[in-house]
Each structure stands twice: as structure tokens, then as C-alpha cells.
Amino acid sequence: MGRHRQWCSVLTVDRRPVEARGATGLGAKVLIVDDNASKRLAIRSMLATQDYELVEADSGRAALRAVMQHDFAVILMDVRMPTMDGYETARLIRQRSQSELTPVIFVTAYEQGETDTVTAYASGAIDFIFTPVHPDVVRAKVAAAAVLFLQSQELERSLESITALNVEMLARLAAAAEFRDDDTGQHTRRVGDLSVLIAERLGVPDQRVELIRLAAPLHDIGKIAIPDAVLSKPGKLTVAEFEQMKTHTTVGAQMLAGSAFALLEMAELIALTHHEKWDGSGYPAGLAGETIPIAGRIVAVADVFDALTHARPYKPAWSADRAIEEIASQAGRHFDPGVLEVFLSLTREPGRI
């Protein structure tokens, strides 16, 4: 019960709706961190007319709890606090993903020459307010920091929207390239999903897994350049036709080449290498073993499994068991034995594939 009462005293929130607070404070949350209640009250009174949503914390630990519950536009923090000082608190706050961009302003009784500015800025501070505190200085610095934070949030949302749009455009382009060969247009998505499962089980780093997820659907983008007479031929391809079909790897890589973006670099790599074989008998370059990039080796398995288990103009769909048996027989020849073992382990788990 005592601990509960202490927590209630740590955080005090102005819960007025944004529209009732006006535009001066932009509806932003401000965290005031100080172990001295009278100092917190003084800062609160200075900002009371600015229509911020004010939250108080009486220690570094309370501040950490607060940033887990709220997104703050500005944090005003005392440097000298017991147990955990402002520098350490700010450093730990920076490790919380939702607070890494939140401006921290230290309010300190240290003289300007006594302040450890190196430690302060390293911990994530952007500014200082030295005592005795002047209300106009507090209001001006908090307002500037709040605007900076809100603008950075808006920029981040804009960048996320642009990224999402670009990813969607690439996905639609991948589906368009595959549509003539797969009238459901879902082959690319399925290959991406299965490639992710294999990559995760192999222990590929998360960032690379995400690139594979987004890039794998573009593996057959070069099929755009393959004539319908070859791509949709119901019978076996002639030698000349197969040579033409093989060019979808190099054409796809050329379409994706020259980008400075990691996603398109990964897509280029996969497009070029997903038909290489472990024993060196694949195309277009006849790479063998680990000279084939791991992403290409992963997508090779996912691509063949999906192609075998779904109907194509030249063949009916195979059962999953038949496809798995055929793929397993190609260990050390078509497929990387290590990648293949991971794939086979996934097939033994109900509902995974």
C-alpha cells in the first residue's frame, strides 16, 4: 500500500483534453524530473499558462517508469538526484526506443563552468537551464524543444509513409512480373514468407531477415522480359527457349542494379543467384557452394518448393510430400545441405509450411 501511494505521488498528469489546452503548448507532454517537490512545483507554475500536459517524476527511476507509459516531447531534469543522477537517467532513457529522440534539458544549480558538459551531452542532453531559473527562459527553451521534437516526429512519419509506399510499389511490380506465370499473383509473397522462416531458423540477423522478406518477392522480376510463348509454354522448352528463360536472372539483376538502397541491393543479389546450384551446375554464373550468397541459397529452396506445389502452364501441382521428397534428394547438388536441413525441419512442424 505504501509503495502504491508513493507511485501516485510521483506522477501528476494534467489530463485536460488537447482542445481545452489551446495551441501554445501544441498538446505536448513535458516530463519534470526532480527529487525536490518545491522545484517541480515551481517549474510547473512557469509552464502552466503554456497548455502543456505536465507529468512529474521525483526520481530517476520514476522518470524511467514514466517514459515507458508516455511519449514526451521534452524532459526537464535535475542533475543532482539521489541514487540515480540526471546523467545516468538520461542515458537510460535514451535506450528506450520510444524516447530516443526526446529532447532532454538539464535544470541544474551547478555553475556553468562546473557543469560536466561532455557527460551531459553524451547522455543525450540538448540544453541547460541554470539556476536561479527565469520563467521566460524555461518557457522559451521548452517551446523550442517541443517544436523540434514534434517536427522530427512528423518527418519520421513522412519517411515511414514514403518507405511503405516504395515497398508496396516493389511488391506490386514483383506480382506483375509473376502474374503471367502464376495467375493468382501470390507466388512472390509465398516465396518471401518461406524465405523468412528459413532465414530466421538459420540465425540470419534480424535486419538481414527483413531485407530478405522484402527483396525475395522480386526474385523473378526479370520474367517481364521473357516472351509469353516461352514463359507460358505448356510443354518442355527447347534448348534455345531454356537459354532465353535463363536470362530472367541477369535481366532482373540489371533492372535492380546501381541502387544505393540496401533493399534493392539485396533484391539484385537474389534475382541474380536464386538459380545457382550448390554443385556449380546452376545459372547464370555457375557459382558453387558458399560462393553463392546465403540469400540466394535460401530463396532457391523456397522458390522450388512453391513452384512444385502449385500448378504452372507446364505441370500440375505436386503434393507437399512429393515436393519435399524431391527437394530432399537434391541435398548437396541443387541445394545447400545446411539450408535444406532447416527447410526440412520446418516441414516437420505442423502448420509451419
Looking at per-residue confidence, does 313 or 187 come out higher? 187
| Virtual torsion, Cα 111, 113, 114, 119, nearest 10 deg | 120
What's residue 181's pLDDT? Answer: 60
Average pLDDT over residues 257-277: 92
What's residue 112's pLDDT? Answer: 54
**Start and end residues for every CATH 3.40.50.2300 domain found in the chain:** 2-155
Among 110-119, 271-280, 322-331, the minimum mean pLDDT is found in 110-119
Looking at per-residue confidence, does 224 or 283 come out higher? 283
Helix (H, G, I), strand (E, B) or coil at 238: coil
Average pLDDT over residues 58-63: 93
Cis, bond preceding 313 (omega within 30 deg of 0): no
Query: Could you tell me the pTM of the whole model?
Result: 0.57
Taking the C-alpha atoms of residue 153 and residue 312, their distance in angstroms, rounded to an integer, is 47
Q: State whether the Cα torsion 20-25-29-34 is positive or negative.
A: negative
What's residue 147's pLDDT? Answer: 83
C-alpha cell at 177: 512480373
Looking at per-residue confidence, does 131 or 249 come out higher? 249
Tell me whether strands 74-78 and 29-33 are parallel, antiparallel or unpaired: parallel
What's residue 164's pLDDT? Answer: 72
- 141 pLDDT higher than 70: yes
2-155 CATH fold: Rossmann fold (3.40.50)
pLDDT bracket for residue 108 (50, 70, 90): confident
Return the CA Rg of the chain.
29
Which parts of the chain fold into alpha helices (H)? 2-10, 18-21, 37-47, 60-69, 86-94, 117-123, 135-179, 187-202, 206-215, 228-231, 239-256, 262-273, 294-308, 320-328, 337-347
What's residue 8's pLDDT? Answer: 32
Sequence-ordered list of residues with C-beta below 8 angstroms from that of 267, at least 6 positions apart, any chain = 170, 214, 215, 218, 219, 221, 256
Nearest in space to 194 (alpha carbons), one of 334, 332, 337, 324: 324
Helix (H, G, I), strand (E, B) or coil at 211: helix
What's residue 290's pLDDT? Answer: 96
Helix (H, G, I), strand (E, B) or coil at 135: helix
pLDDT tens for 236-254 read 899 999 999 999 999 999 9
What's residue 185's pLDDT? Answer: 62
**Start and end residues for every CATH 1.10.3210.10 domain found in the chain:** 180-347
Work out the widest C-alpha separation in the chain, in whole angstroms. 87
What's residue 37's pLDDT? Answer: 93
What's residue 77's pLDDT? Answer: 92
What's residue 80's pLDDT? Answer: 87
What's residue 28's pLDDT? Answer: 84
- 334 pLDDT higher than 90: yes
- 94 pLDDT higher than 90: no
What's residue 333's pLDDT? Answer: 96
Q: Output phi, psi for 138, to 5 deg.
A: -60, -50
Provide the 8-state DSSP code for 314: T
- 20 pLDDT higher than 60: no
Looking at per-residue confidence, does 63 or 51 come out higher? 63
pLDDT tens for 190-245 read 999 999 999 999 999 999 999 999 899 899 989 888 888 888 888 889 999 999 99
- 291 pLDDT higher than 80: yes
Task: Domain 180-347: state its class.
Answer: mainly alpha
What's residue 224's pLDDT? Answer: 85
Looking at per-residue confidence, does 313 or 39 come out higher? 39
Q: State whether the Cα torsion 196-200-205-206 is positive or negative.
A: positive
* Residue 276 burial (C-beta neighbours within 10 Å; 0-12, 13-18, 19+): buried
